[in-house]
Amino acid sequence: MKPLLDLRHLQLIQAINETGRITDAAKKLGVTPSALSHRLREAERRLDVPLYTRMHKKLRKTPAADYMAVVAERILVDLSRAEEDVRRMNANVQHVVRLSVEAYSNYRWLPAFIKFLKARAEGIDIQIMAGARSDPLNGVLNRHIDIAVTSGNVAQAGLRSIELFEDPLLYIMPPGHRLADRDYVEGSDIVGEPFITYTKVPEPDREFALLFRPTDSYPKWAATVELPEAIVELVASDLGTSVLSSWALQTALNEGRIVGTKVTQDGISVPWRAVVRTEDMEEGDPILQVAELLSEWCSLPEGGFHIT
């Protein structure tokens, strides 16, 4: 059975959902508003359902448009991926594995790993997908990426994880801070300290549950900043303190722009894992191959994410 909609209709739905206006969507797609309106009417006629209702100059999505938008995004992403794969085949690349790291955009480790990968596997290329770092697990499930390097434990249907490394959390502060010479900090040490957090959603293996809650000691929340690199810059400028993963802080620590110390006397370590789809766990699959090589590389004395 021939599909009712073609690629142009899917692009139209995606563009309207992103912009909310015919004129803006037409500009995004490089067509005239009248041509786009005609294309929209054609899509609604073929489906025999309305996709949008008009309110003033904006379009409001119907449930049908919401559903088609999800399908359109998946198809267009897969098509874009296929096109990129075909182009790369001319460069002796048979497989492109898309990877994203949760939260952090520190990729100083990447060149060393690519050299390690190329020495052990032919025809595999790595593509970093920075846009998926805010929700990498869904990125894997939705096929936007193939491997998510993420922290904590993963127990989600359709996903499997491979251990990479354990990484300590560090309490970071500007040089000269009153706690800078401590070997470790407890919750009581930072009561009232201005604190910049990545998220205020408590996680069972992080500072909320293991540092603040046990002694009912909390800092003064200064800001919520969802970009760890921005947190580092704010801390270096004496605008607050924070707790972040050690591996992503090495450059700033070595440069002396911030100071880091252990969180609690015993320390708090967070496991980092490579997460892939269950269906990609078959032996010989290039996605599994990259994930396993990443794990092997992290176990080497000269490997791992703590590269400065």
CATH of the domain at 35: 1.10.10.10
Whole-number pLDDT of residue 2: 59
Statement to judge: residues 154 and 174 lie in one domain:
no
Q: Are the C-beta atoms of 261 and 185 separated by less than 8 Å?
A: yes
What CATH number is attached to the domain comprising 192? 3.40.190.10
- Per the prediction, the chain carries an average pLDDT of 88
Q: Over the stretch 5-18, which tens digit does the pLDDT of each residue have?
A: 888 888 888 888 88
Q: Are residues 142 and 188 in the same domain?
A: no
Instruction: Pick the last residue of a domain from 16, 42, 75.
Output: 75
- Domain boundary residue, one of 19, 42, 75: 75
pLDDT for 130 equals 82
In the predicted structure, residue 128 carries a pLDDT above the cut 90: yes
Please state the length of the chain: 308
Q: DSSP string of 267-300? A: --EEEEEEEEEGGG-STT-HHHHHHHHHHHHHTS
Count: domains in the chain: 3
My answer on whether 158 and 277 are in the same domain is yes
Q: What is the pLDDT of residues 130-164, one digit of tens each?
A: 877 888 999 999 999 999 999 988 889 999 999 99
Q: Are residues 182 and 245 in the same domain?
A: yes
pLDDT tens-digit readout, 249-298: 999 999 999 999 999 999 989 899 999 999 999 989 999 999 999 999 99
The reported pLDDT for the residue numbered 90 is 62
pLDDT at 252: 94
Same domain as 242, residue 98: no
Residue pLDDT, tens place only, 92-126: 777 889 999 998 888 999 999 999 999 999 889 89
Q: Classify residue 81: in a domain, yes or no.
A: no
**Cα dist. 140→154, 203, 283 in Å?**
13, 21, 19
Pair 192, 157 in one domain = no
DSSP the chain: ---SS-HHHHHHHHHHHHHSSHHHHHHHHTS-HHHHHHHHHHHHHHHTS--EEEETTEEEE-HHHHHHHHHHHHHHHHHHHHHHHHHHHTTT--EEEEEEESS----TTHHHHHHHHHHH-SSEEEEE-GGGTTSHHHHHHTTS-SEEEEES----TTEEEEEEEEEEEEEEE-TT-TTTT-SEE-GGGGTT-EEEES--S--TTSHIIIIIGGGT---EEEEE-S-HHHHHHHHHTTS-BEEEEGGGGHHHHHTTSSEEEEESSS--EEEEEEEEEGGG-STT-HHHHHHHHHHHHHTSTT-SS---
Q: Is 240 left (phi over 0), alpha (psi -120 to 50) or beta?
A: left
Residues 249 and 198 reside in one and the same domain: yes
Q: What's the pLDDT score for residue 202?
A: 62
Considering the domain boundaries, does residue 308 fall inside one? no
Closest CA to 85 of 125, 132, 141: 125
Domain that residue 31 falls in: 7-75
Are residues 104 and 252 located together in one domain of the fold? no
Confidence (pLDDT) at 65: 87
**Most distant CA pair in the chain: distance in Å?**
72
Please write the tens of the pLDDT for every residue from 187-235: 889 899 999 988 766 666 567 777 777 778 888 887 888 889 999 999 9
Give percent above pLDDT 90 in the chain.
49
